[in-house]
Amino acid sequence: MDIKKDPMGRAIADYHRTGKAGRLRVFSPMFEEDEIPVQTLFRNYQEMPETEQKALGMVNGKTLDVGAGSGCHSLVLQQRGVDVTAVDISPLSVETMRKRGVKNVLEQDFFALDEPYDTILMLMNGIGIVGTLERMPDFFRHLDRILAPGGQLLCDSSDISYVFEDEDGNIEYPEDMAYYGELNYTMQYKNIMGAAFDWLYVDADTLARIAAENGYIVEVIAEGEHYDYLARITKNIENN
Ligand code: SAH
């Protein structure tokens, strides 16, 4: 990724260097402009939501932290003696993680990795990088390659159907919408605009259905506080 098009990475680098950052703005055609508070990307263990704390406690073996950002989860795991590798496509985030002491950091696209891991972590809706439901089968074929035998993927996601709920609790989706969790975002930090990207919020039932079609099992481990959940995905060995 071009550092001139890396708003989140720049925000992370600024925050690391100076202890503060400007506004990391998020635009989506369907929503009002929003903001990601940059300091939350630097949360420590106590500041993490329970679903994330729970996920960190379930990690075992060689672990991959996907879209690791500032490295907040990798740092906790590293301190616990876990063999963890952080991967991120953002060069500025990767540089910051190295400065913060994350030992194993890869500047790469998750979909280009080919080494097996026992645990793959995708936190803060990390499974969102799949982008669309249509890309899910490719994602599971990739897991076939990089999930070690007996391995697990731990991810959290949100069911954003509540966004479409009216006062009476009826849910109505826009007619031209394929799946309500498929969004398109652009981010901006200072004068740095990122490229638009697809981001997926997948509800637990849809995730379980597509996983089953692709030879995987989804267990919902915990429910979060805001329509979110933590899931554990493993290969369905009875299928093979
Ligand atoms: N997991 C971190 C950061 C979440 S933000 C946390 O919980 O705080 C999502 C991160 O995913 C960003 O740092 C972004 O650069 C990274 N990312 C997006 N697409 C990616 C891909 N295809 N491969 C690797 N990292 C990716």
Q: What is the mean pLDDT of residues 105-129?
A: 97
The predicted-structure confidence for 7-62, as pLDDT tens digits, reads as follows 999 999 999 999 999 999 999 988 889 999 999 999 999 999 999 999 999 999 99
Residue 99 contacts residue 75 (beta carbons within 8 Å):
no
Mean pLDDT, range 120-129, rounded to an integer:
96
Strand partners, 117: 147
Question: What pLDDT, on the 0 to 100 scale, is given for residue 29?
Answer: 86
Mean pLDDT confidence for 199-221: 97
pLDDT recorded at residue 175: 75
Q: Quick one: what percent of the chain has pLDDT higher than 70?
A: 99
The CB density around residue 164, as the number of other CB atoms within 10 Å, is 14
Q: Which two tokens stand for residue 68?
A: 């690791």
Per DSSP bridges, beta strands 24-27 and 182-189 are: antiparallel
Instruction: Name residues whose C-beta falls within 8 Å of residue 193's C-beta, 6 or more positions apart in sequence.
Output: 5, 7, 186, 187
Q: Which atom of ligand 1 is nearest to the CA of 41?
A: 8
Q: In the prediction, which pLDDT does 143 show?
A: 98
What is the whole-number distance in angstroms between the Cα of residue 63 and the centre of ligand 1?
16
pLDDT of residue 37: 97
Residue found by looking up tokens 């954003």 in the block: 160
Query: Which amino acid would we find at residue 84?
Result: V
Contact by Cβ (8 Å): 41, 49: no
Nearest to 185 by CA among 120, 125, 117: 125
Of 10, 90, 142, 183, the residue with max ligand 1 atoms within 8 A of its CB, to mutate for a pocket test, comes to 90
The predicted structure's pLDDT at residue 97: 98
Ligand 1 neighbours (beta carbon < 6 A): 8, 41, 66-69, 72, 87-90, 93, 109-111, 123-124, 126, 129
Distance 88 CA to ligand 1 centre (A): 6
Radius of gyration of the chain (CA): 18
- pTM greater than 0.85 (yes/no): yes
Q: Mean pLDDT lowest for which of 40-44, 103-107, 134-138, 225-229?
A: 225-229
- Say what the pLDDT of residue 194 is: 96
Look over the chain and give the mean of its residue pLDDT values, rounded to a whole number: 95
Average pLDDT (127-150) is 97
d(CA 153, CA 127): 10
C-alpha pair distances (Å), 208 with each of 34, 77, 227 = 29, 27, 16
Which pLDDT value is given to residue 240?
55
Task: Please give the Cα distance from 222 to 63 (Å, whole number).
Answer: 21
CB atoms within 10 A of CB 103: 13
- Percent of the chain clearing pLDDT 90 (strictly above): 86
CA of 186 to the centre of ligand 1 (A): 14
User: Sorting pLDDT into bands at 50, 70 and 90, what band is 74?
Assistant: very high
Cβ neighbours of residue 81 under 8 Å, at least 6 residues apart? Answer: none
